[in-house]
Amino acid sequence: MTTLSDPQKWLLNATPAQLDQLGRSMNQEQKNEWKYNFSFFAHPEQLPPPGDWRVWLVMGGRGFGKTRAGAEWVRATAEANPDARIALVGASLSEVRAVMVEGESGLLACCPPQRRPIFEPSLRRVTFPNGAQALLYSAAEPESLRGPQHSHAWCDEVGKWTNGSGKALRAWDNLLLGLRLGPDQRIAATTTPRSVPLVRRLLAGEESGETVVTRGTTARNAGNVPLRFIRSMRREFGRSVLGRQELEGELIQDVEGALWNRSLIEECREESTSWTIQRVVIGVDPPASAQGDACGIVVCAACGDGVARVLADCSAQKPTPERWARAVANAARWWNADRIIAEANQGGAMVESVLRAAEIALPVKLVHASRGKSARAEPVAALYEAGRVRHAGLFPELEDQLCGLMAAGGYEGPGGSPDRADALVWAMTELMLKPAASPRVLQV
Q: Tell which CATH architecture fits domain 262-432.
A: 2-Layer Sandwich (3.30)
Examine domains 6-246 and 262-432 and report if their fold is the same.
no
User: Cβ distance 99 to 106 under 8 Å?
Assistant: yes
- All structural domains of the chain with their residue ranges: 6-246, 262-432
Residue 405, SS3 per DSSP: strand
pLDDT along the chain (444 residues), means of 10: 56 70 69 69 81 90 83 95 97 95 93 92 96 96 94 94 83 96 94 84 86 77 63 63 63 78 85 86 84 84 95 90 87 92 71 72 82 89 94 88 88 83 95 66 53
Q: Which of 188, 178, 155, 182 is closest to 84 using CA atoms?
A: 182
Query: From the centroid of its chain, how far is CA 70?
Result: 17
For β-strands 294-303 and 316-317, DSSP reports them as antiparallel
pLDDT score of 299: 97
Q: What is the CATH number of domain 6-246?
A: 3.40.50.300
The DSSP bridge partners found for residue 150 are 179
pLDDT score of 317: 85
pLDDT score of 2: 46
User: Cβ distance 324 to 297 under 8 Å?
Assistant: yes
Query: Using CA atoms in the order 181, 186, 188, 193, what is the torsion angle rounded to 10 degrees?
Result: 120
Encoded amino acid at 126, one letter: V
Neighbouring CB atoms inside 10 A of 194's CB total: 24
Q: Which of 210, 98, 207 is closest to 157 using CA atoms?
A: 98
pLDDT score of 397: 87
pLDDT score of 76: 94
Residue 300, SS3 per DSSP: strand
Q: What is the pTM of this model?
A: 0.60
Segment (H or E) for 175: helix 167-177
